[in-house]
Amino acid sequence: MFTGSIVALVTPMTETGEIHYPSLQQLVEFHIKAGTAGIVAVGTTGESATLPIDEHIHVVKKIVEYAAGRIPVISGSGANSTDEAIELSQASAEVGADGLLSVVPYYNKPQQRGLIAHFEKVADACELPLLLYNVPGRTVTDMQAETVAVLAKHPRIVGLKDATGDLNRLREMQALLPTDFVLLSGDDATGCEFMLAGGHGVISVTANLVPEAMARLCAAATSGKAELAREIDAGLAALHEGLFIEPNPVIPKWALYRMGLIPSPALRLPMVEAELIHQKAIEQVMHNAGLLS
């Protein structure tokens, strides 16, 4: 279920910071028509850190309603408190999510044993399949391959989003994990090579702008069509880089606003709108990619 191009969806907002549900529905349709394989609702790109629990779950609920069973919806349900992660996971199940994406607890800097205890308790508390999410650039703590291997023994822990960008880490995990454990890249810039090395897909920021191209890239890479995959990826390389010249999702929101897909580039504080120089930089990349006239 959780393979191919899975979009890390933005949460569109008005200039005053309220969630804009009509454009959220438009984005869901945009991805379904483009062949996106799944949606991560309210993950990092969806500003999970600044949405209170009730609003977070309402967004997941609306995405599930808009998707209407046509595309899997994975709820970003991680937290640096185990009890909060359980609350988010159980509430996500109640509103119809198909799976969970649970990030390594941030700020606390737990030990590897703590990570095992945390994720096992979350998985025990909710019947949905759970994807682990390792992103040490944001969480500080780096979940080691041996820790993932222990957690993979849990029947509801089905995969990992690895955002280290380290292909050696992929090979290390492949040697320790069962073949049916889903390995997803969380780094667009290295996602193509990750899949060509045996990964199963990408949870993608770039897919917010070019879902059809990312779907074609993932299809080629996961079927071993290396030349085609690399050709598609080369055409997306400037976007992969440009979307991260400021912390995600600052630039993706600006880009989607310029494409007319969301009503404003607004974010929740402490994130603020992109610097003018970076707005112009991503607009040039988008022009070159044919996304702006």
Determine which one of 66, 161, 253, 257 is catalytic.
161
Are 91 and 55 a contacting pair, CB within 8 Å? no
Identify whether 161 is a catalytic site residue. Answer: yes
φ/ψ region of 4 (left if φ > 0, alpha if ψ in -120 to 50, else beta) reads left
Q: Can you read off the two tokens belonging to residue 113? A: 């044993």
Identify whether 253 is a catalytic site residue. Answer: no
Q: Provide the residue count of the chain.
A: 293
Provide the β-strand partners of residue 204: 7
For the annotated binding site, the residues are 45, 203
- What angle (nearest 5°) sits at the alpha carbon of residue 51, between those of residues 265 and 108? 115
Determine which one of 61, 133, 253, 257 is catalytic.
133
For the annotated binding site for pyruvate, the residues are 45, 203
Longest dimension (CA), the chain: 52
Active site residues: 133, 161
